[in-house]
Each structure stands twice: as structure tokens, then as C-alpha cells.
Amino acid sequence: MLEKVDILLDEVAKFTATDLNQVEEFRIRLLGKKGEITALMSDFRNVPNEQKKEFGQKLNTLKTAALEKVNEIKDSLESSSTSNKEKQDLTRPAEYTPLGARHPLSVVRKEILDIFTRIGFSISEGPEIEDDFHNFTALNFPPEHPARDMQDTFFIDDEIALRTHTSSVQVRVMENSTPPIRTVSPGRVFRNEAISARAHCIFHQVEGLYIDKGVSFADLKQTLLYFAKEMFGENTEIRLRPSYFPFTEPSAEVDVSCQICNGKGCNVCKHTGFLEIMGCGMVDPNVLENCGIDSTVYSGFAFGMGIERITMLKYQINDLRHFFENDLRFLNQFKSAY
């Protein structure tokens, strides 16, 4: 019987076939219900005990080899038969592959960062989940400030919240470096607001910080004018209105001349000729001290803008929600932007 197994092993090794019928015949002859291997299997109990081990192992090898051979030839016959049927036509025009586009917020974010890196600002990023010290206390927010209210800020616990601005990143930069500091901090920020055409609970900011000896309000104004002209065009004008932020003193709100009516007055600028784009001011000495910087030696300015707002003005988009809905009819309009 051992010889029989050897003969069959040899046969399996040599077997080839040119069509599927031959493979099936071969399978039935060896592995079918009345097949030769099946017969050997049932003869196994008649094998003398001392030969059982050797015979069993050989028989198993044979069975596996036969199964593998059948499957292998079947596979190769099947795949070659399909490729024969569908002869490839190499002259056919290629299928159109639609290209994606950058999100308008990414386009404008890059543009803002490019403008500031051209005049020596570095880019700094920090955590979106922030502690009270970096988001509020270091920035001179008094304990009872309304921004610390659950209604404005997403708190995780008493100490930890989702950052409400990227000023928190600038606190980290000030703590970890010595002036001169020139940096812009882009990132996502979170505020507990109802979603509407003008507000969203998630939006994007770029905030800037410049600290050195003798930095003045004139430096701030010139930097912002340069930014506005680079972003909106050479003829753009800016206007600063007094405002209040806990971390800057004095503080101002920055407006740019309306891009739609060129400052003449229209519906978009509510006939004022100007549109608000950011907040700014001279860094409050308390903030410098909180971050380990000697306020008798150094002074600095800071500013912060929403990327959504800049993008809406630049591309005349009238609803903030477009940025988050991922409607391709909206996104595809930015294909040519880089």
C-alpha cells in the first residue's frame, strides 16, 4: 500500500491540465467518494500497527498535495481564461479621475501664515485641550470673567477646557523662550455658541505675538497694514477702533476697507465702508510677568483673527456653515486655489 501512495504522489506531482474538465476528472479519480485516495484512507485500519505512523503521515501528505494541485491548476486556468476573454485595449482613452481640492480654510490659513512668515514670524502650535492657566489666568482674565462661564466655554472639569482662542499657545511660547519673540499660532478653537450663519462652536484662528525691547503701537499698526494689503490688495486701508481685551492694553478692533464697495458704503459693510477682521493690542504687562518676561525691559503686541471671517470676506461667502458641511458644490469652487 505504501508503494501505491508513492505512485500516486508521483502522479500528483506530474499532473498538468489544459482545461477545467480535466482537473475535475483528476479530482474525482483521486479525491472523490470512490477515489483512490479516499479508498486508501478507509484501508488505513487494515494497516499493521507498526506501519500505521509512517503510512498515516504519507497518506496525509498525498491528500494535501492532491488538493493543492487541484486548486492551483484551477486558479491559474480561471484567471487566464478571464484575461483571455477581456483583451486589453491600450488605445482606449483613460478613465477620468477627479482631483480633490484644498478646503478654502486651508487655502486662506496658508496664505495668512505665508504673509507673516515673510516678515520673520515663526509658526507655533499647541494643545486644543487646555488648562485654565494657559487659556485664562495667565492672560489676565479675572476669576469672575464671563468667558469662564460654562455658557461660553466647553469645560471638561474645573481646570480643563477646550481652548477658546490660540492665545493659549502664545502663553506657552512666552513661558518657554526669551524675547525677541515673533510668532503666529494657527489652530482650531471652541466656544459654546449656537450654530448660525455667523457663529459656530468650532472655528479657526491665527493669533500673532511680537515681543522685544521697544515694540510700540506704531509697529503693530504697520504690521497689520502690511497684512491687510497682502491679503486683500494694495489699495486696502485699515482702521483701528478702541476696544477691550483682558490681555492687551490698549486694545483695538481692526477694520479693513470694504472689498465690495471699495469703502464707499454698501449692504455688506452696512454703509460704513469698513469690515471688522480682528482684535489686537499691546500685551498687558501683567501677561508678560505671568509668563516670566520682565515687563520693565520688554513690550509687545498681539493680534488675533478668525480664518473663517477672513475667508468669508475674501471670497464673499455669506454663511459660515458652508465651511463645515462639505458640500462638493461649494468645495469644488476652490479648485483653482493653491
> Rule CB under 6 A: which residues touch ligand PHE?
165, 167, 207, 245, 248, 251, 279-281, 302-304
> In this structure, what is the dihedral angle of CA atoms 7, 8, 9, 10, given to the nearest 10 degrees?
50
Q: Shortest approach of ligand PHE to residue 280 CB, angstroms? A: 5
Choose between 36 and 284: whose C-beta lies nearer to ligand PHE.
284
Cis peptide before 250 (omega within 30 of 0): yes
Which residue, 8 or 215, is less far from ligand PHE as judged by CB? Answer: 215
Smallest separation, CB 97 to ligand PHE (Å): 41
The whole-angstrom separation of Cα 113 and Cα 92 is 45
Using an 8 Å Cβ cutoff, are 252 and 280 in contact? yes
Tell me the closest approach of the beta carbon of residue 284 to ligand PHE, in angstroms: 10
Nearer to ligand PHE (CB atom), residue 30 or residue 140? 140
Q: Closest separation between CB of residue 279 and ligand PHE, Å? A: 3
**Which of 170, 257 has the CB closer to ligand PHE?**
170
Q: Are 106 and 114 in contact (CB under 8 A)?
A: no
Contact between 256 and 236 under an 8 Å Cβ cutoff? The reply is: yes
Least spacing, CB of residue 306 vs ligand PHE, in Å: 8
> What do you get for the CA distance between the two ends of the chain, in Å?
77
Taking each helix axis from N to C end, the angle separating 307-315 and 104-118, rounded to the nearest 10 degrees, works out to 100
69 or 204: whose CB is closer to ligand PHE? 204
Closer to ligand PHE at the Cβ: 167 or 236? Answer: 167
Q: Which is nearer to ligand PHE, 124 or 167 (CB)?
A: 167
Cβ at position 241, least distance to ligand PHE in Å: 13
Q: What gap in Å lies between CA 99 and CA 93, rounded to an integer?
A: 17
Q: How far is the CB of 245 from ligand PHE (least distance, A)?
A: 4
- Cα of 228 vs its chain's centroid, Å: 28
Task: Name 167's Cβ contacts closer than 8 Å, sequence gap at least 6.
Answer: 135, 139, 185, 207, 247, 302, 304
Q: Closest approach of Cβ 134 to ligand PHE, in Å?
A: 12
Q: Which is nearer to ligand PHE, 145 or 271 (CB)?
A: 145
Which amino acid type is present at position 162?
Answer: L
Cα distance between residue 208 and residue 300, in whole Å? 10
Q: How far is the CB of 299 from ligand PHE (least distance, A)?
A: 14
